[in-house]
A = this chain, B = another copy of it.
Amino acid sequence: MSEKKYVRPLNFKTGRVEMNYGAGGKATAQLISDLFAEAFSNEYLLQGNDGADLPQCNGRLVMSTDSHVVTPLFFAGGDIGSLSVHGTVNDVAVCGAKPLYMSAGFILEEGFPLSDLKRIVESMANAAKEAGIYIVTGDTKVVEKGKGDGVYINTTGLGVIPNGISLSGAFCKPGDVVAVSGDIGDHGVAVMSERVNLGFETNVKSDTASLNRMTEALVKNVPSLRCMRDPTRGGLGNTLNEIAKQSGVGIEIREEDIPVKENTLAACEFLGLDPLYTANEGKLIAFCAEKDADKMLETMKADPLGKNAKLIGKCIEDEDHFVQMVTAFGGIRMVDWLTGEQLPRIC
């Protein structure tokens, strides 16, 4: 009796996800071995136990999780697969840690084309390889048609912090400066353009990318580094508000110094978006003492992903913890928390 007798081979051309792929039996095992283990292959994943047995880490650990529900699944510059790796790598990296290991949990909708799933999984594998992180453990569930939307992916990342490093959104002080690593708003615009079939006209690509090399350099080069964040959902405006609240400071930014691509700005106007609240998936903001401002900026600029980095403002004393922007015309605009649903399912 051959094992193969019991199952059809997976058809990555015209096949679709069936309910039994999630039932924990032979079909699940086949999907894991023929697709996931093949693409993500590493010694930890191949142990084949309920969890991955990983080496001891010398240093404090950082753990971060993100479920990805972006729609559409494929967009200019990336897809849900690469995004799910970049997003979690970045969440671990901005805490000052070196990302090492990642889990991947898939919720597949019955009927989802296996060709799309393969493309997504290979995109994850490439993104993980680029970032130098191992996908060490995973899980697959299948839900009935109409109870999901193609595929949702949870990734949870684990990293290790070098001894002596401690960063937090609560560490900023009046006088500290803030830099952004490049043009804002591209991810949100790329996804929204795709959603309204404007991809060709706007020509904006998602900035989705892993920032761990830039964060490692900042940790190394900037002695007074207080905090790093990737301004994803809610964009730059919301992230600055989070930090102002956590640190108990006000933040003043200068509109003319905030880098935005011209076509992103034009698309934002057309789509009714504010670039300040539009999602990024490959941008960093970082705070440090004024004395290290140039070091921070130069470190960002030295990274291929930070060429257009800019110092955009500073922390001030403000008991209301407001974020304010000096506009291009010299006025003051309040940059409040994002209250509505500017961009649902953007990541």
Contacts and interface: CB of A to CB of B under 8 A. Distances in A.
Contacts of A22: 69, 341, 344-345
A233 interface: yes
Interface in A42-72: 47-69
A90 B279 CA distance: 37
Interface in A126-181: 136-139, 141-144, 146-149, 152, 154, 156-159, 161, 166-170
A66 B22 CA distance: 12
Contacts of A138: 65
Contacts of A272: none
Interface string A221-246: 00000010110111000100010001
A343 B24 CA distance: 9
A112 interface: no
A345 B167 CA distance: 41
A341 B61 contact: no
B238 A51 contact: no
Contacts of A92: 50-51
Most buried by B among A24, A146, A166, A342: A24
A170 to B, nearest CB: 7
Contacts of A149: 143, 147-148
Contacts of A101: 63
B91 A50 contact: yes
Interface string A318-347: 001000000000000000111111111100
